Amino acid sequence: MDTPEVSFIIPAYNESEVFPELVDRMNTLIDRIDKKSEVILIDDGSNDNTAFLMEELALKDPRYQCLFLSRNFGHQKALSAGLDFARGEYIMLLDADLQDPPEVYFNFIEKVEEGYDVVYGVRQNRKEGWIKRGFYNAFYTLLNKISNYPIPRDSGDFGMITRKVVEAINRNREESRFLRGLRSWVGFRQVGVTYERMERAAGVPKYTVKKLLKLALDGIFNFTTIPIKLLTISGSICIFSSLVYFVITVIRKYLYHDVPTGFTAILFTVILFGGFQLLSLGIIGEYIQRIFFQVKQRPLYFIRKKIVNGEEIL
């Protein structure tokens, strides 16, 4: 079987509700594409019917390749498994819930054919509630302010990258993965394409608040050390101001003899500096935790089973 030119990477975690619609849309799309394509479905340790549906599909339709992860490793690692496996020259990443319309393929491929290596989707209007939207906005503003590399606003993992970008990204085996950050970090010619982000076709979001928070922290702590520098700066400011305060107190003690009024001030400073110290330890801890997981050099994921070209590989 000759190698495909286009690979679609779609991770799915408990997506049996949207699965039939996803397959419909993908089938219609692949039929319209003039390039040979494969769809790589990654089952991220689902505990509903998803794995079964994937298996049934891939065994009868060799355009669908399936990787079944041994447990739930999370969206970013599921995508990484897909990136490791993908054989195409043009690789498109999308969600299983059809929030990112697969048909944007045509806009992506147009840009790639113009010579871009990374084409990322930029969400025109988010359909999420205002709280989630507020958090996203705050996060991307913060990230861009402090990151050493620009990470495009309102863009997620949805996009198309060429073979050489995939290879560049795959060489980063870092454990706490923030792929959209890595994608920006590797460089090459990049461009954004706006699209309208839909509502989930069916089912409920699989990203819990906890998983989202982890992703956000990975984005920050993997791409900047500014939080550590802020610690040094704020620590210095604290020491300086407490020295000033000390001098003022000494002067007042000897000139005006009115010092014992300071009980609240003492309490306040103790709490403030205690807080600063805990915060500092926490920030350092975030880096140490990442170093800890990185030095272990653990594999990013395990594959329980694959179905490639309609054949099961155990």
Beta pairing class for 6-12 and 37-43: parallel
Among 95, 117, 175, 218, binds ligand UDP (CB under 6 A): 95
Among 135, 139, 207, 287, binds ligand UDP (CB under 6 A): 207
Q: Which residues contact 163 (CB under 8 A, 6 or more apart)?
A: 88, 89, 90, 91
Among 7, 8, 9, 13, binds ligand UDP (CB under 6 A): 13
Among 7, 19, 40, 44, binds ligand UDP (CB under 6 A): 44
Q: Does 147 bind Mg ion (CB under 5 A)?
A: no
List strand residue ranges (DSSP E) for 147-276, in order: 155-162, 190-195
Give Dmax (Cα) for the chain: 92
Task: Answer for the pair 33, 105: CB distance below 8 angstroms, yes or no.
Answer: yes
Helical axes 209-223 vs 75-85, angle rounded to 10°:
60
Q: Considering beta carbons, is residue 99 or 147 the nearer one to Mg ion?
A: 99
Task: Answer for the pair 193, 120: CB distance below 8 angstroms, yes or no.
Answer: yes
Q: Considering beta carbons, is residue 44 or 117 the nearer one to ligand UDP?
A: 44
The two structure tokens encoding residue 17: 């509700």
Q: Considering beta carbons, is residue 8 or 116 the nearer one to ligand UDP?
A: 8
Residues 73-92 that bind ligand UDP (CB under 6 A): 74-75, 78
Q: Which run of H or of E encompasses 304?
A: strand 303-308
Q: Considering beta carbons, is residue 72 or 269 the nearer one to Mg ion?
A: 72
Q: Does 157 bind ligand UDP (CB under 6 A)?
A: no
Q: Select from Mg ion, ligand UDP, none the partner in contact with residue 96, using the beta carbon and a kind-dependent cut-off of 5 to 8 Å.
A: ligand UDP
72: amino acid identity, one letter: N
Q: Which residue has the tokens 């915060």?
A: 279
45/74 Cα distance (integer angstroms): 9
128/5 Cα distance (integer angstroms): 34
Q: Considering beta carbons, is residue 13 or 221 the nearer one to ligand UDP?
A: 13
Residues 45-104 that bind Mg ion (CB under 5 A): 95, 97, 99
Q: Select from ligand UDP, Mg ion, none the partner in contact with residue 44, using the beta carbon and a kind-dependent cut-off of 5 to 8 Å.
A: ligand UDP
Q: What's the CA angle centered on 13, arms 197 and 71, to 5 degrees?
A: 150
Q: Select from Mg ion, ligand UDP, none the partner in contact with residue 74, using the beta carbon and a kind-dependent cut-off of 5 to 8 Å.
A: ligand UDP
Nearest approach in angstroms of CB 95 to ligand UDP is 4
Contact stretch for ligand UDP (CB under 6 A) within 56-64, 96-104, 285-293, 298-306: 96-104
Nearest approach in angstroms of CB 172 to ligand UDP is 19
How many residues line the site for ligand UDP (CB under 6 A)?
A: 16
Among 99, 176, 190, 222, binds ligand UDP (CB under 6 A): 99
Please count the helices (runs of H) and the strands (runs of E) in the chain.
Answer: 10, 9
H runs (alpha helix) in 91-225: 105-114, 130-146, 163-170, 179-185, 209-223
Q: Considering beta carbons, is residue 95 or 175 the nearer one to Mg ion?
A: 95
Burial bucket for residue 296 (CB in 10 Å: 0-12, 13-18, 19+): exposed
Residues that bind Mg ion (CB under 5 A): 95, 97, 99
Residues that bind ligand UDP (CB under 6 A): 11-13, 15, 44, 72, 74-75, 78, 95-97, 99, 205-207
